[in-house]
Amino acid sequence: MSEPKEMVIILTGASRGIGLTIAHYLLSQPAQHKLVLTSRTASALNELQNKYGKDRVEIVTGDAAEPRLAKDLVSVANERFGRLDSLIINHGALDPVKKVADSTPEEWRKAYDVNVFSAVGMVQAALPSLRKTKGRIVITSSGAATGAYQGWGAYGSGKAVLNHLALTLSVEEPAVTTVSIRPGVVDTEMQRAIREEHNKTMSATDQEKFHGLHKEGKLVRPEQPGGVIANLAVRGERELSGRFLSWDDASLKGYRTDL
């Protein structure tokens, strides 16, 4: 493969876990990529900007569910760096972790505002710019989109919507490559919360699974799916568009950084 050129990339959920790993990876590449980063808190993003420079990192803080955030991100990319090449949708929230019978429609609406409607809004805001650059959209999904866990109905169904969003975009937007990635059970703050805060809501089988993966050292390192997602944002091939793939799928071998 040829050496990737400099890209202008919007990355959501950039302050921790997979998102922070993606940011570090992209900013450490020789291609000198430019990033517009967002999260609810600025501290980790400020550290990235201080390390890699204001000429390469722009920060837009805010709640992903705020409708104005999507337009702000795209405006900053275009005004500061002159274009937009890729959008990485990496934010998300697990709450409410409750059985369907024990949750409320309002809790589901809040979850969908964060996990679904914000993503749709970002895609809509970014598409005019991405069409011009024949750009890419990479969505961090979840195995919960296709497999049910007790108490995860709002989260899992929201991720399933994002998978279908990617599939729809592959048909509607032929100039833009859109891929949805399952990162696996990753060693992040979300997994800690699953083990320590949400375990009582989950079934005994699910509790045993997540505790066992942690105890046995089988959690995926953030750098593993993070590297794949970053490389897809830079050079993802059109033939992948619309697909929902595990980060370690055979078709993504060329995008991995851990081999």
The mean per-residue pLDDT over the stretch 74-89 comes to 98
In the chain, % of residues over pLDDT 70: 94
Model confidence at 72: pLDDT above 60: yes
In the chain, % of residues over pLDDT 90: 82
Condensed to tens digits (0 to 9), the pLDDT of residues 132-190 reads 999 999 999 999 999 999 999 999 999 999 999 999 999 999 999 999 999 987 756 66
Model confidence at 191: pLDDT above 60: yes
pLDDT of residue 145: 97
pLDDT of residue 201: 79
Model confidence at 211: pLDDT above 80: no
Model confidence at 213: pLDDT above 70: no
pLDDT of residue 1: 45
Model confidence at 73: pLDDT above 50: yes
Q: Would you please indicate which residues are annotated as catalytic (active-site) residues?
A: 141, 155, 159
Residues 6+ apart with CB under 8 A from 61: 38, 39, 40, 41, 42, 45
Model confidence at 232: pLDDT above 50: yes
Model confidence at 197: pLDDT above 80: no
Cα–Cα dist 48/38, whole Å? 12
pTM of the model: 0.92
Q: CB–CB of 28/229 below 8 Å?
A: no
The mean per-residue pLDDT over the stretch 212-225 comes to 80
